[in-house]
Structures are given as C-alpha cells and as structure tokens.
Amino acid sequence: MSLVTEVVVPRYGIAWYPWAVQYFFLIALSYSTLWLAAPGLILGKQAWMTTARIALLACVSTTLVAPVALLADLHQPLRFWHFYAHPTPWSWMSLGSFLLPIYLGAVVLLAWLAWRPALKARSHQNDGWFSRVAGWLAWGEWQAPRAVLALVGAGALVASLGIMLYTGFEVAIVKGRPLWNTNWLPPMFVATGVIGGCGLILVLNRITSIRHPDTNRQMLAILVGACVVTGFIALTWFLDGVNAVSGSVAAALDSVSQSAAWRSTAIEGGIAGGLLATLAFVMRRSPARRKAMGWILGLLALHVAWMFRWVVLMNVQTVARNSAGFHDYHVAFGSYGLLGIIGIFGLWLTAVMLIDLFVPWREASSDPQAEPVATAPEATSISASFEGAPSHG
C-alpha cells in the first residue's frame, strides 16, 4: 500500500457551459409539449383541445428559443454556417444541426396552420395594429385542408423523434466521460423531458388564466406515468451497472462516495423526484387539489427536469478524468453563467409574451378550415378560453 499525493497538476475547466443545459432543457420541453399537443391538435380529440392549445404555445416558444441557447454555447457562434458548409454524417452533433431546422420549421408550420383561422378572424376585426398584424401573419384568406395540418403534425412528430435520438446519443457516446457513456441516458432525457413538459403546461394553465380542469387532470395523469417510467429507467440503469467495475454507475457511485457536493446533489435530486412523484400520485384524483396545487407541482416538475440536465451536463464535467478529486466550478455571473441562464429564460418569456400579444393562440384549431369566434386581445380572458373548441366543420 502506498499513499499518493498529487503535487503538480493543471486545472481543467469545463468545456460546455450552462447554455448547454438551457438548450437540452428547452428542446426537451419542446418535443414533449409537441407530443402533449398531438392528441388534441393532430388527432382532433376534443377533450384534449385546451391542453393542446397551451402545449402548442409552450412548444413554439421553447422551439424558437432553444437554438439560441445552442448557438450561444458555441465559442464561435458566427461560424454556425460551417455546420452546413461541411456536412458530417458520422457526427451526432452534425446530424442534429440538420435535424433541428427541419424540426423547427415543422413546428412553426404546424402552429401557423393551427393559428391561422383565429388570425384570419382577428384580421377582420377593426382592432388597429392587432388586426393588421394578424392579417400579415395569416398571409391571405386561403384555406388549408385538415389533412395538411395532420400531415405537418405527423412530420413534426417524426422530426421530434430525431431530436430525442440525437440529443441523447450525442452525450451518451462520449466514452471520455463514463457517467454519460450509457444507453440509459437518452431514454432518461426523454422521460424527464416529459415530466418538464407536463410541468410547463400546468404552470401555463395557471398563469395564462385558462385554468382548465381537464388540462390539470390530463397533465397530472401523464406526470405520474412519466415519474414511474423515469424511476424504472433510473433503477434499470443502476441494476444494469451496479456490479460493473467501471462504467456509468461505478463513476456515479465513486463521485457520490468521494464528494460531499455530489452527495447533497444526489439527496436533493432524490427528494425532489420522490416528492414530485408522491404529490402527483396523491393529487391526481382530486379536482380541488389539482386546481389548487397543479401549478406548484408544475414548477417542481420543471425543477426536476432542469436539475437532471444540470447535474448530467455541468456536474459531470467537474469529475476529473486524469487527476484526483473534482474540478472547481462556480457559476459565473456573466454570459457564461448566471446571465446566460436568466437571459435565456427572459428570451423565452419575451417569446411567450409576443405570441400572446399578436397571436390568438387560445383559439388554435385542429382544423385549419374552422371559423372560430374571433376575440380581441383584451378579451382573451378566462371565460373566452373556457368555451373550448371552436366550431368543427
């Protein structure tokens, strides 16, 4: 036996900044809310229409902002066009750079088709700039058949599968970071993404004053399911690797046993996840509790989804690979840290507010030929959105 002390060793910084967490968080919210919008919007199930409208707002806003965070994580953001000048089919990141615009385009097109009837209706009102902008956004009086919306929706769903695959495997193939190098990571990203997506819809259901009981009920049911799936994936990951000498689980156990920070993170994550699953399970059957607590649970769900990504992407980078101990990482105040995190959240809020201002998203329709009752922006209140689906031709 001998005691080894490190005397000279360089300090290695982290290479991916909190921007990466913001991207993985937003893009996961984006694809999960797209799937949550699908029953109402793409399949035309009326009971899901209110949820679909909120989900579509969540999906479009996160889809628009996520690439900004991704771009910001590049050290040379202005060279982003190199991705398209030098296509590299063997790199997951390059594949992602082609998938992302396709996905973004499909989502925006889907939302546009769903919002057009309401936009056209608003453009006919005499509401000054709002009508004028609605007219520009609607881009003519023509009508798209419902099949086009369903087709674009199906395309967006397929593209979202590509996004799930690439965001997961981009990280999971990195052998240099044993904690990432597991096939259980991609499904875990998706499962926690669905948790976050349900959370975001629960929160939006409250803060947009829609407060639809169906949405609370549906989201809590899916939230419970996603928690169970997440738990199973985590358990399988653990059992799969607990006896291995090296690998993802061994690296995690090493980190938890060696570092107080990792221990507290594991405890915090465990408590947050456990609390979320328990509360969601307890509250899912009581409409009164759902109404009172749904949005708080939504915030907790968002916290779980965000924190999982923070731990995976940031904390794992502090595990030293060639030296003892852990690298020091403190979130900087500037654009590489706190300002970036807050800035992206602010950008998302701006996107939501702009959409809310200029798009009658509460009247989104699964049928582009529908003729909804037009509402002026100031009239988009609780009562208006409680009316549910527009007339269905």
Partner 1 sequence: MDPIRRTLLGQLARLSAGAALIPLAGVANAGINDQPPRREGDPTKRYGMLIDLRQCIGCQACTVSCHIENAAPLGNFRTVVSQFEVEEQGSGEVATFMLPRLCNHCENPPCVPVCPVQATYQRQDGIVVVDSDRCVGCAYCVNACPYDARFINEQTQTADKCTFCAHRLEAGLLPACVESCVGGARIIGDMRDPDSEISRLIEKHREQLMVLQPERNTLPQVFYLGMDERFTTRPQAEAGIWDVLGMDGKEVGYEFGH
The tokens of 261 are what?
Answer: 């920070």
281 or 326, CB closer to partner 1?
326
CA atoms within 13 A on the CB side of 306: 14
**Total binding residues toward partner 1, as defined by CB under 8 A:** 51
- Which of the stretches 12-20, 138-146, 226-234, 366-374 binds partner 1 when contact is defined by CB under 8 A? 12-20
Separation in Å, CA 75 to CA 17, 80, 103, 256, 341: 10, 10, 24, 31, 16
Query: Which residue from 79, 124, 132, 392 is in contact with partner 1, where contact means CB under 8 A?
Result: 79
Shortest Cβ 326–partner 1 spacing (Å): 8
Contact status: 15 vs partner 1 (CB under 8 A): yes
Give CA–CA dist 50/322, Å, rounded: 53
The 3-state DSSP class for residue 119 equals: helix
CA atoms within 13 A on the CB side of 143: 13
Looking at residues 344 to 363 of the shown chain, list those that interact with partner 1 (rule: CB under 8 A).
Answer: none
Separation in Å, CA 336 to CA 41, 177, 333: 38, 22, 7
Give CA–CA dist 70/77, Å, rounded: 9
Give CA–CA dist 8/10, Å, rounded: 7
- Which of the stretches 3-11, 151-159, 211-219, 342-350 binds partner 1 when contact is defined by CB under 8 A? 3-11
178 or 360, CB closer to partner 1?
178
20 or 134, CB closer to partner 1?
20
Query: Which residue from 10, 128, 334, 393 is in contact with partner 1, where contact means CB under 8 A?
Result: 10
Query: Which residue from 46, 125, 246, 264 is in contact with partner 1, where contact means CB under 8 A?
Result: 246
- Which of the stretches 52-60, 75-83, 112-120, 266-274 binds partner 1 when contact is defined by CB under 8 A? 75-83
Contact status: 382 vs partner 1 (CB under 8 A): no
Shortest Cβ 22–partner 1 spacing (Å): 15
Query: Of 133, 157, 153, whose CA–CA distance to 356 is shortest?
Result: 133
246 or 264, CB closer to partner 1?
246
Give CA–CA dist 256/263, Å, rounded: 5
DSSP 333: S
The tokens of 66 are what?
Answer: 């996520």
Separation in Å, CA 58 to CA 27, 196, 307, 324: 11, 11, 19, 43
Query: Of 49, 21, 63, whose CA–CA distance to 159 is shortest?
Result: 63
244 or 275, CB closer to partner 1?
244
Query: Which residue from 29, 95, 227, 389 is in contact with partner 1, where contact means CB under 8 A?
Result: 95
Looking at residues 308 to 327 of the shown chain, list those that interact with partner 1 (rule: CB under 8 A).
Answer: 317, 320-325
Shortest Cβ 325–partner 1 spacing (Å): 3
Shortest Cβ 61–partner 1 spacing (Å): 25
Q: Are 385 and 211 in contact (CB under 8 A)?
A: no
Shortest Cβ 164–partner 1 spacing (Å): 15
Q: Are 17 and 337 in contact (CB under 8 A)?
A: yes
Shortest Cβ 30–partner 1 spacing (Å): 20
Shortest Cβ 334–partner 1 spacing (Å): 13
Shortest Cβ 311–partner 1 spacing (Å): 16
Give CA–CA dist 62/31, Å, rounded: 9
Looking at residues 169 to 188 of the shown chain, list those that interact with partner 1 (rule: CB under 8 A).
Answer: 169-170, 173-177
Chain residues that interact with partner 1, rule: CB under 8 A:
1-13, 15-16, 73-76, 79-80, 82-83, 85-86, 88-97, 169-170, 173-177, 246, 317, 320-325, 328
